[in-house]
């Protein structure tokens, strides 16, 4: 396996490997001991970029709010000196979306909320500085998490992008945050964050963390041009489509499948989301069959697709075991033949983005 390349996130100066470790399974599907082993192995194999969030683990529950950050904090505390080798990213949650245990039902990224949230992140992680602090989802009304269309009638008053930037700037000035980023954002949102930062001399966003995989290539429909021209990096999450692109649900589907297979079989709430659509599984089965026809494991092809795309700065992999981690990292360096890429595009032309 060739060495994982190092990339710079936007104009921030933050350097990260082209593969990052997503951790939202820690605290629900993965206990602390296994999470420790996964983080140790990732670091051994050159993945020193870890991403988490205050609302994790997933699926979100009041009982596990902040659990992932606490596990990472415990791991860091038990390994003196490791923090200096790590690029640590976390997030502040946006408006409640039914998670009243975070900051109430009617809150939405005011400056005091952002500052207070960061204090909580730092405390749980047991660190003085967050390398990349991201807004998990926008305060304003936008189509996200499976909603396809923007509906202006749903607009409500919310903290302005300028107010959010000013709060993030305060955290940067205090040394609590090194760089800032967005997540689940639109081209409009990225443009506004960059425009206002430049206009007011505030920190510029380094990255946008959005879903990107074979069954959700929405980032290629305009967001990629925005990120390229503005110099912002894409952090691709869910590169395996919540496990659909591993092939493990090809035969059984979701309903009645062994819960040990993964979150789609284990949690009804996951099946009710975009990844649980019948059309998403149908498309995934076609991609998985295509991979096998070309002598590749479905996981290998799906990840190689993300790893090799110019649009992606770093791909965030999420795992529940050491064997899954090794399989994801072993896919680095896989080259997809031109005819295979053409066949992938042909399926997309028919199936579009069923998990959008």
Query: Which positions are annotated as active-site residues?
Result: 56
What is the sign, positive or negative, of the torsion defined by CA atoms of 30, 60, 220, 161? negative
CA 118 to chain centre: 18
Residue 234, both tokens: 């894409």
Q: Which of 90, 82, 77, 79 is closest to 23 using CA atoms?
A: 90
Judge whether 351 and 344 are in contact, CB under 8 Å. Answer: no
Give the Cα separation of 121 and 9 in Å (integer): 21
Decide: residue 39, CB within 10 A, 0-12 exposed, 13-18 middle, 19+ buried: buried
Pairing of strands 6-8, 15-17: antiparallel
Judge whether 141 and 154 are in contact, CB under 8 Å. Answer: yes
Report the residue count for the chain.
356
Give the Cα separation of 174 and 160 in Å (integer): 22
């Amino acid at each position: 396996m060739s060495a994982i390349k190092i990339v710079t996130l936007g104009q921030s100066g933050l350097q990260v490997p082209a593969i990052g470790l997503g951790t939202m399974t820690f605290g629900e599907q993965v206990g602390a001991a296994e999470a420790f082993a996964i983080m140790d192995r990732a670091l051994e194999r050159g993945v020193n970029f870890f991403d988490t969030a205050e609302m994790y683990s997933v699926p979100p529950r009041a009982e596990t709010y902040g659990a992932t950050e606490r596990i990472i904090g415990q791991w860091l505390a038990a390994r003196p000196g490791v923090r200096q080798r790590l690029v640590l990213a976390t997030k502040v949650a946006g408006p409640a979306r039914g998670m009243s245990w975070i900051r109430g039902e009617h809150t939405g990224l005011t400056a005091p909320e952002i500052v207070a949230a960061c204090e909580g992140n730092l405390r749980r992680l047991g660190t003085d500085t967050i390398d990349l602090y991201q807004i998990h989802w926008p305060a304003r009304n936008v189509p996200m998490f499976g909603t396809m269309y923007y509906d202006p009638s749903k607009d409500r008053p919310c903290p302005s992008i300028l107010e959010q930037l000013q709060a993030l700037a305060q955290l940067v000035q205090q040394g609590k945050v090194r760089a800032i980023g967005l997540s689940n954002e639109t081209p409009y949102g990225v443009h506004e964050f960059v425009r206002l930062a430049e206009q007011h001399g505030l920190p510029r966003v380094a990255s946008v963390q959005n879903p990107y995989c074979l069954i959700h290539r929405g980032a290629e429909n305009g967001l990629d041009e925005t990120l390229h021209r503005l110099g912002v990096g894409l952090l691709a999450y869910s590169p395996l489509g919540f496990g659909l692109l591993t092939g493990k649900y090809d035969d059984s589907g979701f309903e009645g499948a062994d819960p040990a297979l993964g979150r789609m079989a284990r949690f009804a709430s996951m099946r009710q989301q975009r990844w649980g659509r019948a059309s998403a599984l149908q498309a995934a089965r076609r991609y998985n069959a295509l991979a096998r026809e070309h002598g590749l494991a479905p996981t290998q092809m799906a990840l190689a697709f993300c790893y090799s795309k110019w649009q992606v700065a770093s791909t965030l992999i999420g795992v529940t075991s050491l064997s899954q981690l090794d399989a994801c990292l072993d896919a680095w360096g896989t080259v997809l033949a031109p005819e295979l890429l053409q066949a992938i595009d042909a399926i997309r032309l028919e199936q579009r983005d069923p998990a959008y």
